Amino acid sequence: MNLIFLGPPGAGKGTAAARVAEEFGMPHISTGDLFRAAIKNETELGLQVKAITEKGDLVPDSLTIELVNDRLKDGDAANGFILDGFPRTIPQAEALETASKITRVLNFKLDDEEIIERLSGRRVCRSCGKGYHVHFMPPKKPGICDVCGGELYTRKDDSIESIKNRLSVYAEQTEPLIEFYRSRDLLSDVDAKPSAERVFDSLKAMLEAL
């Protein structure tokens, strides 16, 4: 099974990908992780990624494609993989098409209002890094970490303004992939509104039926 998990930020596809990867014994390949690993290992591609991201620019398609294609050649991806965060653009999807045969694309669906509620409610402890959510996982005392008593804050990425920006980038660059894969008869919609547990159960049933 060569799978792509597609969906807007906040739809829970990273969490779902990690669980499905564990359940089915396949690697969970996220471009964020690939970038971080390449930078840490100071590979040739990693040094290029580092120079680009340090300037605050987006990693170009060509470089992202090269990193992903390299990763897909690793032995553990031979019998299947989950791609999370890739492809993000039509050129990336076209490049992937020439390198690998995709079995299924799971399209996580969640409306913008719900995404904003989920992401803007996130809080992180400044001292120990533990994550909270004002509605779904509140600390015992508002604004204070249960574990270490540190101060909770909202990451810049989770500010309303930043979330709206991420959603518009997603709509512009990534939403066209829905039609791209639907026209190839590869797309399955996933309702991302229920709990992570229920989303996982329905994914599992869907994949076992493939």
Catalytic site residue from 40, 126, 141, 155: 155
Q: How far is the CB of 154 from Zn ion (least distance, A)?
A: 15
Q: Determine how β-strand 28-30 pairs with β-strand 81-84.
A: parallel
| Sole window of 6-14, 66-74, 97-105, 119-127 interacting with Zn ion (rule: CB under 5 A) | 119-127
Which position among 50, 164, 166, 204 bears the catalytic label?
166
Binder among 15, 127, 165, 168 for Zn ion (CB under 5 A) = 127
- Whether 7 and 107 have beta carbons less than 8 Å apart is answered as yes
Choosing from 13, 71, 118, 123, which is the catalytic residue? Answer: 13
Catalytic annotation present for 155: yes
Contact partners, residue 203, CB within 8 Å, separation at least 6? 16, 20, 106, 190
Judged by CB under 5 A, the chain residues 138 through 177 that form the site for Zn ion are 145, 147-148, 150
What size, in residues, is the chain? 210
Listed in sequence order, the DSSP H helices in the chain are 13-24, 31-40, 44-54, 61-72, 90-99, 112-120, 160-169, 176-182, 196-208
Give the residue carrying structure tokens 């919609």: 189
Q: Closer to Zn ion at the Cβ: 115 or 152? A: 152
User: Which positions from 10 through 39 interact with Zn ion, judged by CB under 5 A?
Assistant: none
Active site residue 184: no
Q: So which residues are the catalytic ones?
A: 13, 88, 122, 155, 166
